Amino acid sequence: MATTVDKIKEIESEMARTQKNKATSFHLGQLKAKLAKLKRELLTPSSSGGGGGAGFDVARTGVASVGFIGFPSVGKSTLMSRLTGQHSEAAAYEFTTLTTVPGQVVYNGAKIQMLDLPGIIQGAKDGKGRGRQVIAVAKTCHLIFIVLDVNKALTDKRVIETELEGFGIRINKEPPNIKITKKDKGGISITSTANLTHIDHDEIKAVMNEYRIASADIAIRCDATVDDLIDVIEAKNRSYIPVIYALNKIDAISIEELDILYRIPHACPISSEHGWNVDELMEQMWDKLNLRRVYTKPKGKLPDYSEPVVLRATACTVEDFCNAIHKTIVEQFRTAIVYGKSVKHQPQKVGLSHELADEDISESLASFPRIHKLRIYWSILTHEPVTIIKR
């Protein structure tokens, strides 16, 4: 019996043989959708084993986590030790790191978890080495550092990207602006506000047909490709994760070569061993994580700038803020008093659904003496700033 990998290879070669034109677009759409389904099958833990993060996942701490992905011996563990002070074994031989090694960085008052991972090799997503478990951990991170050795070919960058993409990770990309509303009857109706230069309606219908979706309204608001459409249908299996390319070992190259590296988008040239330019890497990390610091302010006093409540942009309402401090606050909540970029008037009363901005100041706690006490109690208990974990 043909294995899933065999079937994938067969479809890929058929696609390579088929020229794209009006007559073949339906067939090609069908093949693309078949391919996406087979790839998902390959990554489901129940099939042929190895999917999921089993054995490699670690307890998550902090407001966000950053996973290190790269070929063996590019310097991931050296970078880990440099950034976090958490020792992770580094050596000149490949596969020194055999499991996930967690560490922590505190940056702008936010605790960020760093996950040093074993090296991966080409074919990892198809089950080579422990690559699948490694990439499965990366898929749950809020940011990925793709670590590359600048002494090696830059084509390595593309190989790693392909491995991550094959696992349903979309790097430095927003979800495609396509909305599919399934219906009981009426067939497939397609509306598009953008001019579609990559797909025609036949291809869209072939994909929908392959996914057994007979009736749906499809609203396309970007110049979408077939892959974009499939990504929206397969949304449950896709993760859109920002990536920074940490171009390591720049101590071994010339200034002229370094100049070229600086032109690569989303990249940061560094030397883990010497600690060169790791400050810039941390700045880029902060920008990509898109975190928001909210300071608390007791009534009549200055804000407490030492312990921000750190929220992610995807969960940064007043409700999220309250929950980050204690679950019981929301029950007693009436209004929050907020100073900062998120409000027009300084200060302004806002409700639970109000979205907070970076460096806002909230006086909400001060209006509830009981809660303020709770906060103090909380700090004494833990001795650390309150952060929120919510995907």
Ligand X SMILES: Nc1nc2c(ncn2[C@@H]2O[C@H](COP(=O)(O)OP(=O)(O)OP(=O)(O)O)[C@@H](O)[C@H]2O)c(=O)[nH]1
> Where does this chain bind ligand X (CB under 6 A)?
70, 72-78, 90-92, 94-97, 118-119, 248-249, 251-252, 271-273
Which of 96, 108, 122, 177 touches K ion by CB under 5 A? 96
Closer residue to Mg ion (CB): 118 or 168: 118
CB of 165 to K ion, least distance (A): 25
Task: Tell me how far, at minimum, the Cβ of 57 lies from ligand X, in Å.
Answer: 18
Q: Which option in K ion, Mg ion, ligand X, none does residue 362 bind, with CB closer than 5 to 8 A by kind?
A: none
Choose one: 52-60, 94-102, 303-311, 327-335; the region binding Mg ion (CB under 5 A): 94-102
Smallest distance, Mg ion to C-beta of residue 331, A: 46
How crowded is residue 26: how many other Cβ atoms within 10 Å of its Cβ? 18
- Are 68 and 115 in contact, with CB atoms under 8 Å apart? yes
CB 137 within 8 A of CB 53: yes
Q: And the tokens for 204?
A: 């869209």
Instruction: Determine which helix (DSSP H) or strand (DSSP E) holds 254, and give its type and residue range.
Output: none
- Count of residues interacting with Mg ion (CB under 5 A): 4
Amino acid identity at 269: P
Listed residue (80, 148, 150) closest to 114, CA to CA: 80
Count of residues of this chain found to bind K ion when the rule CB under 5 A is applied: 2
Q: Where are the alpha helices (DSSP H) in the chain?
A: 4-17, 25-43, 76-84, 131-139, 155-166, 201-210, 226-233, 255-261, 278-289, 318-325, 329-332, 369-382
If the CB atoms of residues 97 and 248 are measured against Mg ion, the closer one turns out to be 97
Q: Nearest distance from residue 149's CB to ligand X, in Å?
A: 8
CA distances from residue 241 to 41, 66, 67, 165, 212 in whole angstroms, order as listed = 22, 10, 11, 11, 29
Name beta bridge partners: 149.
Answer: 248
Nearest residue (beta carbon) to K ion = 96
DSSP string, 273-293: TTTBTHHHHHHHHHHHHTEEE
Measured from the CB atom, the residue of 96 and 225 that comes closer to K ion is: 96
User: Distance between CA atoms of 375 and 365, rounded to whole angstroms?
Assistant: 8
- Closer to K ion by Cβ: residue 91 or 313: 91
**Minimal CA–CA distance to 124: which of 102, 139, 143, 108?**
139
> Which of the listed partners (Mg ion, K ion, ligand X, none) does 273 bind, with a CB threshold of 5 to 8 Å by partner kind?
ligand X
Are residues 317 and 354 in contact, defined by beta-carbon separation less than 8 angstroms? yes
239 binds K ion (CB under 5 A): no
| Cα–Cα distance measured from residue 82 to residue 177, given in angstroms and rounded to the nearest whole number | 39
Site for Mg ion in 188-207 (CB under 5 A): none
Instruction: Output the smallest distance, CB 169 to ligand X, in A.
Output: 19
Rg (CA), the chain: 24
Strand partners, 52: none
Closer residue to ligand X, CB minimum distance, 90 or 294: 90
The whole-angstrom separation of Cα 158 and Cα 24 is 29
- Which residue type sits at 366? A
238 binds, among ligand X, K ion, Mg ion, none (CB under 5 to 8 A by kind): none
Would you say 271 or 342 has its CB closer to ligand X?
271
Distance of CA 92 to the CA centre of its chain: 30
| Residues 225 to 244 in contact with Mg ion, rule: CB under 5 A | none
Q: Which does 78 bind (CB under 5 to 8 A by kind): Mg ion, ligand X, K ion, none?
A: ligand X
Q: Which of residues 57-86 bind K ion (CB under 5 A)?
A: 73
Contact 60, 137 (CB under 8 A): no
Q: Considering only 43-51, 70-78, 285-293, 301-309, which stretch makes contact with Mg ion by CB under 5 A?
A: 70-78
Tell the smallest beta-carbon distance from residue 117 to ligand X (Å). Answer: 8
Binding partner of residue 272 among K ion, ligand X, Mg ion, none, CB cut-off 5 to 8 Å per kind:
ligand X
Binds 249: which of Mg ion, ligand X, K ion, none (CB < 5-8 Å by kind): ligand X
Q: Reduce the DSSP state of residue 83 to 3 states and report it.
A: helix
Q: Which of 81, 84, 97, 342 binds Mg ion (CB under 5 A)?
A: 97
Q: Rule CB under 5 A: is residue 77 a binding residue for Mg ion? A: yes
Select the binding partner of residue 284 from K ion, Mg ion, ligand X, none (C-beta < 5 to 8 A, by kind). none
Q: Is 272 in the site for Mg ion (CB under 5 A)?
A: no
Instruction: Catalog residues that contact Mg ion under the rule CB under 5 A.
Output: 76-77, 96-97
